[in-house]
Amino acid sequence: MSRSTNLVIKLASGVEAPERLAQAFTVATTALASGITVSFWLTGEASWLALPGRAQEFHLEHAPSIADSIATILAAGTLTLCTQCAVRRDIKEGDLIAGIRIAGAATYVEEITADATQALIY
């Protein structure tokens, strides 16, 4: 992967799949540290992580802090909550951690079909 590559990560798993959840954030923060542009999407049960305090409740032995990973992604990448997932959970924009946006499938498709982009789904 060249440094001009974009990485789009879609996380659909929540705390019910702790290793999958942790892996997605580890890959995202590693990519950012490598100079790769990252767009991280919270979908399905991962949507709850867009709310303040939720990431602090997650702990997995030998895994980095999800709250710290979210802060890293917000500082250097893009973090998006799926529109439909937010609506199904009655999550409003004002409920979110500052910096997280809500966007839908059209934005996701635009991102994953851009040149030099790799998409991963966890």
Note whether 14 and 122 are within 8 A (CB). Answer: no
Residue 69: the pLDDT is 98
User: pTM score, two decimals?
Assistant: 0.94
Residues of the chain with pLDDT under 50: 1-2
pLDDT at 2: 43
**What's the pLDDT score for residue 51?**
98
* Dist. CA 84–CA 25, nearest whole Å: 22
> Which residue, chain included where needed, has tokens 């992580």?
49
Q: What is the C-alpha separation between 65 and 61, in angstroms, rounded?
A: 10
Predicted confidence at residue 1, as pLDDT, reads 42
Give the start-end residues of each E strand in the chain. 6-11, 37-42, 78-82, 101-103, 117-121
Provide the pLDDT for residue 5.
Answer: 76
Q: Which domains does the chain have, with CATH numbers?
A: 6-121 (3.40.1260.10)
